[in-house]
Structure 1
Amino acid sequence: MTTTTLTVRPATDADILALAQLMSEANPRHPVTPQTWAHEIAELRGHSLGLHVAQWLAEEEGVARGMALTLQSPGMYHPDRYWAEVLVPAQHGRRGVGAQLAATLGTHLRARGAREILSGAYEEEPWAVKFLTRRGFSETLRYFDNVLEMSGFEASAWAGESKLPGGVRAVSLAELTAEIGLDAAIAAYYAAFAEVREDVPRSSPPTPHTLEDFRTRLLNAPQYFPEGTLLAVTEAGEVVALSELRLNDTDPGRLDTGLTGTRRAWRRHGLALALKIAALQLAKRRGVREIWTGNATTNRPMLALNERLGFRPRPAYIEMRWGGV
């Protein structure tokens, strides 16, 4: 095979199946279904910030060999900041596919006047790190996938630390919705979520989510799991801590963790740990095989909490940046 037969073209909605398959093969740690990727793209296109998103396919005689994408992240938005990825499954690597996709991506981003580009690669794939380094990227932050094998989790061992302080109770989002209605439950949940996420380590300041964007993304997500969203609620009805579990639509035996944290005024009372334990107890009852979560290597409190619970880190993902805004 030579690169002379390789063509790169813009991807369309008709290519969702091929795109999802390439993404899953290139990063089997986090496979994606066509349904989920179609949903993610639709969410980006319909976002109130007017986000840009574009994708390309590299093909050889009509067979997909790799893909590239760029998008503006709603979580760290700046009009001149883009996330960009070149994804080539291992069986198609070392043949110039990535280089040709990167050239197409670079032309597109230069035409848009991009001043900052974020990308990344796993530390266990040094060739991918070098691919970015050669193109002027440098490391900004590292993230661990932390995985808990549920066979080793014994809920009874945590009974003493699963209790909340007086005046605070643990309920799921589903239970809170049944009590006070969907609109009020989501508003209370959003207030805590918005504050907690401000303190999550990241390479650039977070962009605030509006309540409407939060509600839309939450309710439409294929991973929506209200029974697995655990909230600490005061007698006044304020949500002061949260721990999210999400469904994984590629593996019914796996759950993924979203945001876990406590509002600033309520920290150091064991709320996050108690909710995390309640979430793991729920997963155990459901017969879940493993739970995945992601933590920045600078987030020592959460890494320590997860390590206590039995989560073990996988090779780190290295976020890298070109330019800056």
Structure 2
Amino acid sequence: MTVIVRDLRPDVRADAEGFSDTRRLALPYMLSTPESVVHTLTHAHPDAHFGQLVAEEDGEIIGTAQISVAHESPEPGQGSANIYVRPGHTGRGAGTLLLRTAEERLGRLGVTKLFTWVLDEPDNRAFAERHGFRASRSAWFLRLDLAGGTLPPRQDPPAGVELRTAADFADDPRPVFELDAEASSDEPSDIDVDLTDYEAWIEETWKQPLLDRDLTTIAVVDGRLAAFSAAYTDGGSRYATAMTGTARAFRGRGLAKLAKNDSLHRARAAGYTEAFTGNDTGNEPMIAINKWFGYETCAKEIRYVRELG
């Protein structure tokens, strides 16, 4: 049996399904659908040189890789390659072949520092370290039982605060972009992010098929967008918090917690039964908030880095 690596074909439904299925089985804590796979590939900013690779064995997709250049970072030469192999198909060379292909492509694009996320399991860590990566930061995946669990009661917004949805800003999403850009710039990360391209954000984020605008809650204070909790849904039973953040001028007032609680209650009312989120292991304030909601840690992911060339 021979494993080959090739580019995903966005116009072939079986490719998108195989990619999404593999990602979901290897990383069940993150949402993925065939539609989101195709959208991410076809709407990525040209400067990201975004690519999706598949490892195929006897016509079956058994591994995936997402590769990109960190074009939104003020520091040049950084890139990422996140690789996942379908459970039951490890040890056949798919991961190594995907990584080698990713490194060759990104190296030709000027990437000199490569980052990758690895689930905190012995085989995964050994794979990364065997290929010259060193561990850096880490993050938790958390799960909440929306069907059987108990959410904190919904709270009335304080005076001057209004809870709205992203759908309310469909005619002019620029204020949502500005809030997202400010909050994202302060997120813990190995790669600094500076969101400045509104049109790219519209294509990549606002039009992302996973984004559920009706369940994304935004706290508005005296007409200004202050905090938000962005919701992803897979069209089935799974809901995920894609991002929760607060504008700097409004931090320390519990607005992010208020927005997330509202979104979770409406997600449960809409029939979603599982909720997922993630936190940097050093982000104690957000971890405490998620434990208050009832989330439980279900897995740990480690960020690995290596120099290319």
TM-score (norm 1): 0.84
1:47-76 CA distance string (max 9 Å, x none): 2x5221334443344444434442224554
8 Å contact from structure 1 (residues 83, 119) kept in 2: yes
Which residue in the other structure is 1:117 paired with? Answer: 114
SS at match of 2:88: helix
The 5 A counterparts of 1:211-226 are: 211-226=198-213
1:182 to 171, 178, 187: 171
Which residue in the other structure is 2:22 paired with? Answer: 22
8 Å contact from structure 1 (residues 164, 270) kept in 2: no
Confirm or deny that 1:103 pairs with 2:100. yes
Which residue in the other structure is 1:241 paired with? Answer: 227
Tell me how far 1:78 sits from its aligned partner.
5.1
8 Å contact from structure 2 (residues 40, 204) kept in 1: no
Gaps of 5+ in 2: none
Which residue in the other structure is 1:169 paired with? Answer: 162
Which residue in the other structure is 1:272 paired with? Answer: 256
Bigger helix share:
1
How many angstroms apart in 2 are the aligned matches of 1:284 and 1:11? 35
1:121-165 CA distance string (max 9 Å, x none): 111x2111111111121122111111111245445x535xx2333
8 Å contact from structure 2 (residues 165, 217) kept in 1: yes
8 Å contact from structure 1 (residues 120, 129) kept in 2: no
Tell me how far 1:318 sits from its aligned partner.
0.7
Confirm or deny that 1:51 pairs with 2:48. yes
The 5 A counterparts of 1:34-49 are: 34-44=34-44, 47=45
How many angstroms apart in 2 are the aligned matches of 1:26 and 1:12? 21
1:85 to 78, 82, 86: 82
**Larger Rg over CA atoms:** 1
Q: CA distance change for structure 1 residues 95 and 215 in 2, over 3 Å: closer, same or farther?
A: closer
8 Å contact from structure 2 (residues 142, 299) kept in 1: no
1:92-126 CA distance string (max 9 Å, x none): 21223323333333333333342010112111x21
Which residue in the other structure is 1:262 paired with? Answer: 246
Q: CA distance change for structure 1 residues 141 and 168 in 2, over 3 Å: closer, same or farther?
A: same
How many angstroms apart in 1 are the aligned matches of 2:129 and 2:253? 43
Q: CA distance change for structure 1 residues 62 and 197 in 2, over 3 Å: closer, same or farther?
A: closer
SS at match of 1:316: strand
Tell me how far 1:292 sits from its aligned partner.
0.8
Which residue in the other structure is 2:183 paired with? Answer: 196
Tell me how far 1:317 sits from its aligned partner.
0.8
8 Å contact from structure 1 (residues 142, 297) kept in 2: yes
Deviates more, 1:200-209 or 1:24-33: 24-33
8 Å contact from structure 2 (residues 69, 106) kept in 1: no
Confirm or deny that 1:133 pairs with 2:120. no
Tell me how far 1:289 sits from its aligned partner.
0.8
Confirm or deny that 1:94 pairs with 2:91. yes
Which residue in the other structure is 1:300 paired with? Answer: 284
TM-score (norm 2): 0.88
SS at match of 1:227: coil
Task: Give the % identical residues.
Answer: 27
Once superposed, what is the RMSD of the aligned Cα atoms? Answer: 2.4
Deviates more, 1:163-172 or 1:197-206: 163-172
Which residue in the other structure is 1:310 paired with? Answer: 294
How many angstroms apart in 1 are the aligned matches of 2:55 and 2:166? 43
How many angstroms apart in 1 are the aligned matches of 2:9 and 2:275? 33
How many angstroms apart in 1 are the aligned matches of 2:231 and 2:198? 20
Tell me how far 1:191 sits from its aligned partner.
2.3
SS at match of 1:99: helix
1:205 to 171, 187, 192: 192
Q: CA distance change for structure 1 residues 118 and 111 in 2, over 3 Å: closer, same or farther?
A: same
Structure 1 letter corresponding to 2:244: T
Structure 2 letter corresponding to 1:222: P
8 Å contact from structure 2 (residues 47, 69) kept in 1: no
Gaps of 5+ in 1: none
8 Å contact from structure 1 (residues 25, 31) kept in 2: no
1:143 to 124, 139, 142: 139
Q: CA distance change for structure 1 residues 92 and 265 in 2, over 3 Å: closer, same or farther?
A: same
SS at match of 1:50: helix
How many angstroms apart in 1 are the aligned matches of 2:25 and 2:147? 27
